[in-house]
Homo-oligomer: A and B are copies of this chain.
């Protein structure tokens, strides 16, 4: 198990890519895998500058199928193909995803790897994830079907060596106990501490704040959330266009008791997002105004 997730903002813009701001997208790195959240036009270029790799993106989470969140898919997949990728790629998103991906991939009919495209529903019983990392989601509130995501990396209980010694388990058998096996009558639970908090990330964009989203991202270590409008005066516009202001994103983070909030998906009209930090920080002090290529690492705390 890897004990760290790195997150990078591939871009922080909404609606259209700008010369100095890529479209909003998040790249997560975990245990040799890369997971991408949304893929607007130009995402592969920003990914190349970022330098974490492109070929090894194994899972793509799509919030919704508006152009600024998906039109980078064909170029990204063609570039993965040109890099020699052969492993299947999983793309998940809301209802309607398959048709749009199929349309976009009309220019990429002969990729050297399989693309598994899956439309997620509330009733979906199948697991989405990679190794220990699991993905859950709820419906967001936008003009089209849109999903908010949560990623969880669970943490096993601590192994208690003193306990194992006292119970007479040989050191070479400790690994078996840690894997869940019973060794000479000693059960794993006899040598393991209490459950421990894992790592979690919320990915929320193109939506109004909702209770369902607040429940989904409850207590996450990192909430990357859209904040299309900086000024409080734009709140009516945020309602109309089904986005959020900085203050509303901060309130969502507060309601969800998130540990840290990173704002993204800024309107092209929002030239200096940083100038509006105060509107969010008043409500939720642990707010960072995102910028392209901002990176954060989540690590299990020393215990």
Q: Which residues of A contact B (CB under 8 A)?
A: 15-19, 40-42, 44-46, 48-49, 65-68, 70-72, 74-75, 78-79, 82, 99-100, 102-108
Which residue of B18, B45, B46, B99 contacts A106 across the interface (Cβ within 8 Å)? B99
5 sampled A-B residue pairs with Cβ under 8 A? A17-B42, A17-B44, A41-B41, A65-B107, A104-B106
Q: Kindly report which residue of chain B lies nearest to residue A75, judged by CB atoms.
A: B41
**Complex Cα spacing A107 to B68, Å:** 9
On whether the beta carbons of B71 and A67 are closer than 8 Å, the reply is no
A79-B68 Cα distance, complex, nearest whole Å: 10
A107 vs B67: C-alpha distance in the bound complex, in angstroms?
5
Contacts of A103 on B, CB cut-off 8 Å?
A: 102-107
What DSSP secondary structure best describes chain A's contact surface?
Answer: helix
Asked if residues B41 and A72 are in contact (CB atoms below 8 Å), the reply is yes
Name which residue of chain B comes closest to A40, CB basis: B75
Minimal beta-carbon separation of A21 from chain B (angstroms): 10
A75 contact set on B, CB distance < 8 A: 16-17, 40-41, 67-68, 71
- Residues in B with CB closer than 8 Å to A18 are 45, 48
Tell me which residues across on chain B come within 8 A of A65, comparing CB atoms.
Answer: 106-107
**Residue in chain B with minimal CB distance to A106:** B103
Which residue of chain B is the closest to A66 with respect to CB atoms?
B107
Q: Which residue of B lies closest to A47 (CB)?
A: B19
Complex Cα distance, B19 from A44, in Å, reads 9
CB of A152, distance to nearest CB on chain B (Å): 30
Bound Cα distance A102, B15 (Å): 21
Residue of B nearest to A96 (CB): B106
| Residues on the B chain within 8 Å of A72, using CB | 41
Cβ A45 vs Cβ B42 within 8 A: yes
Which residue from chain B places its CB closest to the CB of A67 in the assembled complex?
A: B107
Residues of B within 8 Å of A40, CB to CB, are 75
Q: Do B41 and A16 have beta carbons less than 8 Å apart? A: no
- Complex CA gap A19/B67 in Å reads 21
State the 4 A-B residue pairs at the shortest beta-carbon distance, nearest first.
A103-B106, A103-B103, A41-B75, A67-B107
Is A82 in contact with B42, judged by CB distance below 8 angstroms?
Answer: no
Distance of A187 Cα from B160 Cα, bound (Å): 107
Q: Which residues of B contact A66 (CB under 8 A)?
A: 107
On whether the beta carbons of B104 and A107 are closer than 8 Å, the reply is yes
Is B102's CB under 8 angstroms from A67's CB?
no
Question: Is B79 touching A16 in the complex (CB atoms < 8 A)?
Answer: yes
- Shortest C-beta distance, A178 to chain B (Å), equals 44
